[in-house]
Amino acid sequence: MAQKLAIQGPDSKKNLSLPKEGWDFEKIEAELEDLRNLDHTRWEDGRVSGAVYHGGNELLEMQTKAIGKFSVSNPIHPDVFPGVRKMEAEIVAMAIQILTAFNGPEDGAGVTTSGGTESIIMACLAAREKAAAERGIISPEMIIPSTAHAAFHKAAKYFKIKLHLVSCPAPEYQASVPEIRRLINRNTVLLAASAPNYPHGIIDDIPEISRLATEYGIPLHVDCCLGSLIVAFLKKSGFPSPYEKEGGFDFRQPGVTSISVDTHKYAFAPKGSSVLLYRNRSYRNYQYFLFPDWSGGAYASPSMAGSRPGSLIAGAWATLMKMGEAGYINSCRQIVGAAKKFETTILTDPVLKSHIGIIGHPLASVIAFTSKNGEIETYDIADAMDARGWHLNALQSPPAIHCAFTMPTAKAVDDLLSDLIEVITEILLRIEERKEKGEQSVRPSGKSAVLYGVGGSIADMNAVSQFAEGFLDTLYKV
Ligand SMILES: *Cc1c(COP(=O)(O)O)cnc(C)c1O
């Protein structure tokens, strides 16, 4: 969010009302080309962490065709679009098999959604409805890691579920299992764990949390939105995947009742595609919306949306079929290979290892690091990298930076490392110069530092909220 807020485009080209006569194709195409080429952070050169989960140009062309063939389709009318219904069911079936290393439960169930956030909020809703129906819970509560995705907070806000955050202490930065145990009470409707989480790329201790879920009879959601087809293919790609030893992080753990998997992240499907899996149909049915006596006719819809884009289901289905297991193993090798190179270099390079440290022991595509000895401000590194055209993600509590490797960023890992070394060397030089002149060290003043660097008081958070509100308003300025 600390990114550029500049609203671009020459004034003369503002379109504030419908053209009297429709434009011809050429004009629209030219305009679209201009819009695509507006000055932007160069994800194409691999300088943007996460964000663009690109599977290559050939795949992109095929997706565009698949979307085109189904652009009028809508799964709310399965009789009109039987192909879309079939593809959605097959995506769910494939996701169960992939996520459970082909040991999925016979009666596993699921739905596709518009993205990770919808998958997570539907899982929270289903857990709330289940507890209300089966246990009479009217004041629902959830227990989630402090590092869990913002979507859980959104669900808590939308569905009035009280949220308890558990800390994720150093050195492993996994959710504290004793804290979860202490917070469980009769109103607890859902536990959650990440595989891995967004900030640090750390996978929580899912076997242990599953034991708690089973002991207390509470559903457990595993957020594998980001992990998606990377985590699923770690072992087959030759990388450590310790959870395989303990029976996986998925439905093979008896306490796990739902899993969210984003096909629009590391499955490389077009944006607007995620899968929410349930251990069996009895969990899934609690997210359904049924309205038998609507004046518009008996109505049933599986998730938040009514009409849904069948085109994106076709895009996701075609992507899974095109990539195949071999394709995902190949992409996992490239992406996690780059992440491992980044991690190893930080741990061994003389400049890097003395000034920055890795957060926890990440296994997949996200590596987070932080300033090691307080000599350098973490946000100074973030801002200096930014000035060199990198778009890494600044994190807070604790201050840190992460890079989510993707196909484009994997190719740029050597440049990323050499820039990081140069940036840290420059910051150290500046500190030396100031010391020699007897000047006081100054607080960082770049944009990351301005946004996050002032400490976490309530007043500061209010200021950040105000800034964020203004940011959202700006998005709608024509
Ligand atoms: C990306 C992500 C999500 C969901 O995000 P969407 O932007 O809604 O797809 C959920 N959890 C984690 C860990 C993520 O990284």
CA-closest residue to ligand 1 atom 4:
116
Mean pLDDT of all residues in 163-188:
97
- Is residue 29 included in any domain, yes or no? no
Q: How confident is the model at residue 272 (pLDDT cuts 50, 70, 90)?
A: very high
Q: Which of 299, 321, 343 is a domain's end point?
A: 321
What are the CA-CA distances from residue 185 to residues 137, 180, 437 (Å)?
Answer: 11, 10, 59
Is the Cα torsion angle 248, 250, 256, 260 positive or negative in sign?
A: positive
Return d(Cα 335, Cα 268) in angstroms, integer: 13
Q: For the chain, state the CA radius of gyration.
A: 24
pLDDT at 457 over 70: no
What are the CA-CA distances from residue 310 to residues 231, 298, 307 (Å)?
Answer: 27, 22, 9
Give me 112's structure tokens.
Answer: 């596709």
For residue 222, which of 129, 149, 139 has the smallest C-alpha distance?
Answer: 149
The confidence score (pLDDT) of residue 264 equals: 96
Return d(Cα 273, Cα 221) in angstroms, integer: 19
**For residue 111, what are the domain limits?**
68-321
Contact 416, 342 (CB under 8 A): yes
Q: How confident is the model at residue 44 (pLDDT cuts 50, 70, 90)?
A: confident
State residue 223 phi and psi, 5-degree precision: -90, 100
Atom of ligand 1 nearest to the CA of 117: 8
Query: Which are the contacts of 21, defined by CB distance < 8 A and separation ≥ 6?
Result: none
The confidence score (pLDDT) of residue 137 equals: 98
Model confidence, pTM: 0.93
* Neighbour count for residue 265 (Cβ, 10 Å): 26
Same domain, 389 and 309: no
Q: Which of 250-254, 288-292, 406-410 has the highest mean pLDDT?
A: 288-292
For residue 274, which of 249, 243, 322, 309 has the smallest C-alpha distance?
Answer: 309
Burial bucket for residue 146 (CB in 10 Å: 0-12, 13-18, 19+): middle
Give me 28's structure tokens.
Answer: 């629209």
Q: Which of 121, 149, 153, 263 most suits a substitution to test ligand 1, by most atoms within 8 Å of the C-beta?
A: 149
Q: Quick one: which H or E segment has residue 24? A: none
User: Ligand 1 centre and the CA of 33: distance in Å?
Assistant: 29
Same domain, 219 and 175: yes
Ligand 1 pocket, CB under 6 A: 115-117, 120, 149, 151, 194, 197-198, 223, 225-226, 262, 274
* Neighbour count for residue 370 (Cβ, 10 Å): 17
Q: Quick one: which H or E segment has residue 365? A: none
Give me 15's structure tokens.
Answer: 């379109």
Q: Which of 226, 264, 393, 403 most suits a substitution to test ligand 1, by most atoms within 8 Å of the C-beta?
A: 226
* Neighbour count for residue 383 (Cβ, 10 Å): 22
CA-closest residue to ligand 1 atom 1:
226
pLDDT at 240 over 70: yes
The confidence score (pLDDT) of residue 105 equals: 82
pLDDT at 243 over 90: no
Comparing 464 with 72, the larger pLDDT belongs to 72
Same domain, 241 and 179: yes
Measure the N-to-C terminal CA separation of the chain; round to a whole number of Å: 19
User: Ligand 1 centre and the CA of 7: distance in Å?
Assistant: 26
Tally of structural domains, the chain: 2
Same domain, 209 and 283: yes
Question: Which residue in the block uniquely carries the two structure tokens 């599953």?
Answer: 210
- Is residue 475 included in any domain, yes or no? no
pLDDT at 16 over 50: yes
Return d(Cα 16, Cα 205) in angstroms, integer: 52
Q: Which of 320-334, 421-435, 441-455 has the highest mean pLDDT?
A: 320-334
Q: Which of 270, 294, 321 is a domain's end point?
A: 321
Mean pLDDT of all residues in 104-115:
92
Same domain, 311 and 358: no
- Is residue 223 included in any domain, yes or no? yes
User: Ligand 1 centre and the CA of 149: distance in Å?
Assistant: 7
Query: What is the distance of C-alpha 406 from the center of its chain?
Result: 12
User: Ligand 1 centre and the CA of 148: distance in Å?
Assistant: 10
Q: What is the mean pLDDT of the chain?
A: 90
Q: Which of 292, 321, 350 is a domain's end point?
A: 321
pLDDT at 455 over 80: no
CA-closest residue to ligand 1 atom 9:
116
The confidence score (pLDDT) of residue 365 equals: 95
Half-sphere exposure of 316 (CA within 13 A, CB side): 33
- Is residue 132 included in any domain, yes or no? yes
- Is residue 269 included in any domain, yes or no? yes
Q: Which of 53, 113, 117 most suits a substitution to test ligand 1, by most atoms within 8 Å of the C-beta?
A: 117
Mean pLDDT of all residues in 433-452:
71
Same domain, 396 and 427: yes
Q: How confident is the model at residue 449 (pLDDT cuts 50, 70, 90)?
A: low
Residue type, 180: I
CA-closest residue to ligand 1 atom 3:
116
Return d(Cα 134, Cα 27) in angstroms, integer: 59
Same domain, 216 and 129: yes
Q: How confident is the model at residue 2 (pLDDT cuts 50, 70, 90)?
A: very low
pLDDT digit string, tens, across residues 194-225: 999 999 999 999 999 999 999 999 999 999 99
- Is residue 206 included in any domain, yes or no? yes
CATH code for the domain of 335:
3.90.1150.10
CA-closest residue to ligand 1 atom 6:
116
Mean pLDDT of all residues in 328-349:
96
Comparing 377 with 65, the larger pLDDT belongs to 65
pLDDT at 315 over 70: yes
The confidence score (pLDDT) of residue 126 equals: 98
Give the three-state DSSP class for 127: helix
Same domain, 308 and 192: yes
Same domain, 307 and 384: no
User: Ligand 1 centre and the CA of 117: distance in Å?
Assistant: 6
* Neighbour count for residue 31 (Cβ, 10 Å): 13
Contact 5, 474 (CB under 8 A): yes
Identify each DSSP E strand in 227-273 by its residue range. 256-261
User: Ligand 1 centre and the CA of 276: distance in Å?
Assistant: 12
268 Rama class: left (phi>0) / alpha (psi -120 to 50) / beta = left
Half-sphere exposure of 314 (CA within 13 A, CB side): 22
Same domain, 348 and 375: yes
Taking the CA atoms of residue 54, residue 57, residue 61 and residue 66 in that order, the dihedral angle to the nearest 10 degrees is -30
Return d(Cα 413, Cα 409) in angstroms, integer: 6
Same domain, 356 and 403: yes
User: Ligand 1 centre and the CA of 225: distance in Å?
Assistant: 5
- Is residue 270 included in any domain, yes or no? yes
Same domain, 339 and 304: no
Q: Which of 139-143, 411-415, 474-478 has the highest mean pLDDT?
A: 139-143
CA-closest residue to ligand 1 atom 5:
116
What are the CA-CA distances from residue 177 to residues 172, 173, 465 (Å)?
Answer: 12, 12, 31
- Is residue 53 included in any domain, yes or no? no
